[in-house]
Amino acid sequence: MNFDKPVRVDIDPGLLQLLGKVSEFLGLAEHAERILNTQRRRSQSRHRAIAKAWTKFQKGLTSGRGALRQIRSTLAAQLTDAPADTVAIAMSYGEFNIFRDGIQQLHRAIGDMTNAAYDLESLTEPVGDEVERFYRISEAGQPILGLLRDALGGHPERIPDLLDATDRHFDRCEHLIAERSRWLEK
């Protein structure tokens, strides 16, 4: 056994909470806290979970932007000859598959962003500004999901609205990301 090499031991936060309750019951809470540093470990665990959810949110945003570019490039070639007040999409099967993949990628990206925002909202509950920020993001994604359902449900006339609303949503999310970065730098 090598005693020079540091050993990392991860302890389940639920176990630490149970140990805290038992210690509190026995009057040993302060002593146990000094030895185990449960509050520090809970904070570290929460920080890791926030970083993981934040990364998931940012990956969803990047994926969504890519999907928008894919959808717009597929549609741009198809909509050029249509009159301004008409929605007509005629494309080859190969182009349709690219378009469909873009719509599905966009749906997954917005779903991932919304779920990550819910996670972030829950994890940052002790910090009021952060909860409000992630609540706004998760609520703003709901109408986009409705537009996506309409577009996928046989209403292609809703696609331009979907793309514009999604662009605005992503811009809002990027603004909130920048706002959070400035807040963290204070």
Amino acid at 124: T
Task: Determine what percent of the chain falls in helix, strand and coil, rounding each to the nearest 5.
Answer: 80, 0, 20
CB 66 within 8 A of CB 139: no
pLDDT at 160: 79
CB atoms within 10 A of CB 118: 16
Number of neighbouring beta carbons within 10 Å of residue 109: 24
**List of residues 6+ apart from 144 with CB closer than 8 A:** 110, 162, 165, 166, 169
CA diameter of the chain: 79
Percentage of the chain lying above the pLDDT 70 cut? 65
Closest by CA position to 43, among listed 118, 130, 124: 124
Which range of 5-14, 31-40, 74-83, 97-106 scores highest in mean pLDDT? It is 97-106
Model pTM? 0.58
Domains and CATH numbers, the chain: 46-185 (1.20.1420)
The whole-number average pLDDT for the span 47-73 is 87
Q: What is the dihedral of CA 161, 164, 166, 167, to 10 degrees?
A: 180
With beta carbons less than 8 A apart as the criterion, state whether 120 and 53 touch: yes
pLDDT at 63 over 90: yes
- The phi, psi pair for 155, rounded to 5°, reads -120, 75
